[in-house]
Structure 1
Amino acid sequence: MQKTKIAVVGASGRMGREVICSILKTDLMELTAALTHELSASLGLDAGLLAQEGPCNVFLQCDYATLQQAEVVVDFALAEGLEQRLAHYQQAKIAAVICTTGLSEQHMAALRHAAEHIPVLYAANTSVGINTLAMLVEQASKIMGLDADIEILEAHHTAKKDAPSGTALMLGEAAARGRGQQLAEVTEVNRNASGAIHKPGSIGFATLRAGDIIGEHTVYLVSGGERLELTHRVSSRSTFAEGALHAAQWLATKEANFYSMTDVLGVDGNSLIP
């Protein structure tokens, strides 16, 4: 069986290293490039050694010309510079799995524009469980309706930059969609503000940043005397890496279009993309 040739962007970060580790452990994929930013202290290092695996003779660099060797790129880099990276992916005519979080509307528009030229899959979270949770949240929100208060609590490690997390926002989109709302119109992120009043129908977000928590999300739906709690916890970053690589293998043979994890999973989630 021919191996899927994969480039990793954001290779020096936590998730980039985890993706590299997963690639090197399988016979189904080949790491052809590992890219990081030009000021990274990891430039020139062997990607395999950086991922705490054996040497693989693929060295971290910032030259996007190396993308020509790959079929698909897995991007876990920061939101800053995304538009420039997309231009490189289009130039290389390479499929792109974008796992960057904290994206703006401008970023999302850039993704959709790129998808007119290359296959693009955007996933704020690549785990099967969290995408299943999003569908359950939408269904529960639709059933319980506007009478239910909805609050979303997310917890991550102290180095995570964006808050609420991209996954929390994805769950918020699912909850809002379930009861016919636009999330931007009902979002509440500061319940502790002086004089804050709870607005019926709002969707609240609370954030925890502590230690090395990899990722935990709980959606509370509270109505009358009952409370429904839907929770997803991750104990290993390999969950996200394996999900991203599964998406990469799936995307490598697709035509230019904008895809989501529901496409990869073969389910109708009515699009979990904002």
Structure 2
Amino acid sequence: MGTVKIVVMGAKGRMGQTIAQLVQADPALELVGVMERGGGTAGLECFNCVFGSDLDVVLPQLPGAVLVDFTSPESSVRTAQACAVHGNPMVCGTTGLTADQQAQMADAAAKAPVLWAPNMSVGVNTLLKILPELTRILGEAYDIEVMEIHHNQKKDAPSGTALKLAECLAQAREWDLKETATCCREGIIGARPQKEIGLQTLRGGDVVGVHTVYFLGPGERIEITHQAHSRTTFAQGALRAAKWLASQKPGKLYGIGDIL
């Protein structure tokens, strides 16, 4: 397989800059395009590649290039739809997508290869594979809680990763997360229901991301924590996904689990 060509959406943002720098440092990748939505392209010329804000102008110049996107739910959906039109693969790490927006991503994936994951970390996605088995082994005598901490600029809560972890835990219990998730406790709420998964959110400072799953049982407690120390972790995961996705076909909305 030759060099994989990469287009970075949101190249002036923190994640976009990190991704662009990693692409330029990787001989297996080539940075062929950088983009910003809304016309804010000043400064993009320094990347020495195609740049712009209009996907319908940029993507036809870069057939087959993999677009990497960590922006906003609305922007990511529009980008996926444009990739579907032009046939470019897309790796999306945007969090906070609604069920309807996820369905729109899946629709785009029917026409172009699309991989979406609320967390690109190999470690988190490994947890998603092993937590269901641990949940089944421990049984329903163990209450499950999820806590997440992020920086003070994060807009969505609970984080997409916390929701994904809770979803896999609920599925292991054969529960519907919408019916069993509790994101806030206040006042005299009574005893904790047995059929419940708590999701608690902390925000502050410049924390990249911490997620802890608690199994609280009779006489003991198990805590499993994943800490992301740098955004580079997510950028590296996204570029690993891009290398894999470049040779895939459309037809399903891929996730990191497909790579692992």
Q: TM-score, normalised by structure 1?
A: 0.88
Given candidates 112, 119, 126, the residue that maps to 1:118 is: 112
SS at match of 1:32: strand
Deviation at 1:14, TM superposition (A): 1.6
* Alpha-carbon distance between aligned partners in 1 of 2:201 and 2:103, rounded to the nearest angstrom: 27
**What are the Cα deviations for residues 77-114 of structure 1, in whole angstroms up to 9, with x where unaligned?**
10123332222111211111111100101111101111
**What are the Cα deviations for residues 9-62 of structure 1, in whole angstroms up to 9, with x where unaligned?**
12222211111111011111111111112164xx22137xxxxxxx43136531
Which structure shows the bigger proportion of residues in helix conformation?
2
Moved segments of 4+, more than 6 Å? none
SS at match of 2:12: coil
- Residues 221-260 of structure 1: matches in 2 within 5 Å? 221-257=215-251, 258-260=253-255
Structure 2 partner of 1:131: 125
- Residues 105-254 of structure 1: matches in 2 within 5 Å? 105-191=99-185, 193-197=186-190, 198-254=192-248
Q: Would you say the 8 A contact 1:147–1:201 is kept in 2?
A: no
Residue identity matched to 1:196: I
* Alpha-carbon distance between aligned partners in 2 of 1:62 and 1:9, rounded to the nearest angstrom: 9
* Alpha-carbon distance between aligned partners in 2 of 1:224 and 1:204, rounded to the nearest angstrom: 18
Residue identity matched to 1:228: I
What are the ranges of 5 or more consecutive residues in structure 1 without an aligned counterpart?
Answer: 48-54, 266-274
SS at match of 2:139: helix
Given candidates 40, 43, 65, the residue that maps to 1:45 is: 43
RMSD: 1.6
* Alpha-carbon distance between aligned partners in 2 of 1:63 and 1:33, rounded to the nearest angstrom: 12
* Alpha-carbon distance between aligned partners in 2 of 1:164 and 1:145, rounded to the nearest angstrom: 25
Given candidates 82, 89, 92, the residue that maps to 2:83 is: 89
Deviation at 1:144, TM superposition (A): 1.8
Residue identity matched to 1:63: D
What are the ranges of 5 or more consecutive residues in structure 2 without an aligned counterpart?
Answer: none
Deviation at 1:248, TM superposition (A): 0.5
* Alpha-carbon distance between aligned partners in 2 of 1:80 and 1:90, rounded to the nearest angstrom: 16
SS at match of 1:256: coil
Aligned length, in residue pairs: 255
Structure 2 partner of 1:61: 52
Deviates further, 198-207 or 58-67: 58-67
* Alpha-carbon distance between aligned partners in 2 of 1:202 and 1:105, rounded to the nearest angstrom: 21
SS at match of 2:73: coil
Percent identity reads: 38
Deviates further, 217-226 or 133-142: 133-142
Q: Would you say the 8 A contact 1:137–1:219 is kept in 2?
A: no
* Alpha-carbon distance between aligned partners in 2 of 1:159 and 1:244, rounded to the nearest angstrom: 21
Residue identity matched to 2:199: F
Q: Would you say the 8 A contact 1:44–1:59 is kept in 2?
A: no
Residue identity matched to 1:66: V
SS at match of 1:248: helix
Deviates further, 174-183 or 237-246: 174-183
Q: Would you say the 8 A contact 2:39–2:52 is kept in 1?
A: no
